[in-house]
């Protein structure tokens, strides 16, 4: 039987709906998430009509206020799924996220838990400019106590979000604004995806590309183009940045002997630096070429479309770096 195809947006909504039907302690909270608006990217459309405004709670524009409310509710036994419209606006609630949600289990000696999911989205590609197009995942990966997921496909989005909602620790769940309309196979049967398990999206022999979020799709496009030139690329999608499946990444590098790390965030101190460090520590003797990164330069995201295109990662930039690496030109 053919597996149906749905969008990334529909997969996320299905995950929340199924979990809300399963567990009455789950509720959604955020700005404009109820009908008729249903969220700026329509991910929660229809859920307030089905579950009511007690479980899909509209808030004023106050990230600090509603994330604090969600942390308190989680401590009292509820399972909130909060939506911060742009990852850029997480900065308004960093005390609640970094100093409270992430620390409470540790500071209470395990007596208290914060089963909170914060859905947000990041990335460039819509001329959203410097305050609406950042990729800030490294900030959260750096914070002990937080789990971080970045799904690249509808299948991963649904399975990872269902897992995130069931976990007892706070999760930063980062979507990409240009993935909501992408389609992919998603089974109708119940499934979850465990955190800390990477997915090898494409197997190859000559070079490993570790990519996150939307850049996974770019890496696959680059790999297909390079295959026609006789270069075989393995694409590894970590799916969760913390916990990170180091074993799968290192195993792939030991097979191919080359590594390119790709993400949309700026290169300096980005998530890619952690991948490079892990491979340097655990597979140093297996690497036959310099490890390189394909990331954004350290500049704010431009508003002008031509300038945004200039700084953004794309399939051509990935293919160029892999080609240079495999041919010994780096």
Report DSSP letters for 198-249, one per residue.
Answer: -EEEE--SSEEEEE-TTHHHHHHHHHHHHHTTT--EEEEE-SEEES--HHHH
Q: What gap in Å lies between CA 61 and CA 55, rounded to an integer?
A: 18
Q: What gap in Å lies between CA 40 and CA 84, rounded to an integer?
A: 11
Closest among 155, 163, 206, 209 to 182, alpha carbons compared: 155
Which residue is catalytic, options 63, 83, 175, 274?
A: 63
Query: Three-state SS for 39?
Result: coil
| 37 noted as active-site residue | no
Locate 325 and state its tokens: 């690496």
Closest among 59, 43, 165 to 116, alpha carbons compared: 165
| 281 noted as active-site residue | no
CA atoms 127, 130, 135, 140: torsion sign: negative
Q: Are 156 and 184 in contact (CB under 8 A)?
A: no
Closest among 7, 4, 23 to 176, alpha carbons compared: 7
Which residue is catalytic, options 132, 137, 264, 274?
A: 132
Q: What gap in Å lies between CA 80 and CA 69, rounded to an integer?
A: 9
DSSP state of 23: -
Q: Which residues are catalytic?
A: 63, 132
């Amino acid at each position: 039987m053919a597996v149906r195809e749905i969008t990334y947006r529909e997969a996320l909504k299905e995950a929340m709906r199924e979990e809300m039907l399963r567990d009455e302690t789950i509720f959604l909270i955020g700005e404009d998430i109820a009908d008729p608006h249903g969220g700026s990217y329509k991910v929660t459309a229809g859920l307030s009509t089905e579950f009511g405004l007690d479980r899909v709670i509209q808030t004023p524009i106050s990230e600090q206020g509603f994330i604090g409310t969600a942390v308190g509710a989680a401590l009292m036994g509820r399972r909130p799924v909060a939506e911060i419209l742009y990852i850029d606006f997480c900065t308004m609630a960093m005390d609640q996220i970094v100093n409270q949600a992430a620390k409470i289990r540790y500071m209470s000696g395990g007596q208290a838990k914060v089963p909170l999911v914060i859905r947000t989205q990041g990335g460039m590609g819509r001329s959203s400019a410097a305050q609406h197009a950042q990729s800030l995942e490294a900030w959260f990966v750096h914070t002990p106590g937080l789990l971080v997921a970045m799904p690249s496909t509808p299948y991963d989005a649904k399975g990872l979000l269902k897992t995130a909602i069931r976990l007892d620790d706070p999760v930063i769940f980062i979507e990409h604004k240009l993935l909501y309309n992408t389609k992919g196979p998603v089974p109708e049967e119940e499934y979850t995806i465990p955190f800390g398990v990477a997915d090898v999206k494409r197997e190859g022999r000559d070079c490993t590309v570790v990519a996150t979020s939307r850049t996974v799709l770019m890496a696959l496009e680059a790999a297909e183009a390079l295959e026609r030139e006789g270069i075989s690329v393995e694409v590894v999608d970590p799916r969760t940045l913390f916990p990170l499946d180091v074993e799968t990444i290192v195993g792939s590098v030991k097979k191919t002997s080359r590594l390119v790390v790709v993400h949309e965030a700026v290169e300096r101190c980005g998530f890619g630096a952690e991948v490079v460090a892990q491979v340097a520590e655990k597979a140093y003797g297996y690497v036959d070429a310099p490890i390189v990164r394909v990331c954004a330069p350290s500049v704010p995201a431009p508003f002008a479309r031509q300038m945004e295109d200039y700084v953004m990662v794309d399939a051509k930039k990935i293919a160029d770096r892999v080609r240079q690496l495999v041919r010994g030109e780096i």
